[in-house]
Amino acid sequence: VLKLFAKQRGIYRNVNGFFGGINLSIMLIFLLQKHPNYSLSQLLIEFFQEFHSFNWSGFLALGPIEHHVELEC
């Protein structure tokens, strides 16, 4: 549904500088983690509400952030 919405408005595809399929999928997974019992219609509404006011200077995390040790080459 989101892909169709974006394509119809000419705002879909990474090549053009817009979100593509993987980006939209990650955003939806983020919402599903927060709201696992939402219906499709609730998820669509929440998608636009959440990302309209999202702090884009930060990052979107899909779970706990794990710290890792950088390997020396």
CB 24 within 8 A of CB 2: yes
pTM higher than the cut 0.75:
no
Residues 6 or more apart whose Cβ sits within 8 Å of residue 40: 1
Burial grade of 73 (CB within 10 A; 0-12, 13-18, 19 or more)? exposed
State how far Cα 24 lies from the chain centre: 5
Predicted pLDDT at 51: 86
Q: In order along the chain (73 residues), what is the average pLDDT of each group of 10 residues?
A: 82 73 84 88 90 84 64 60
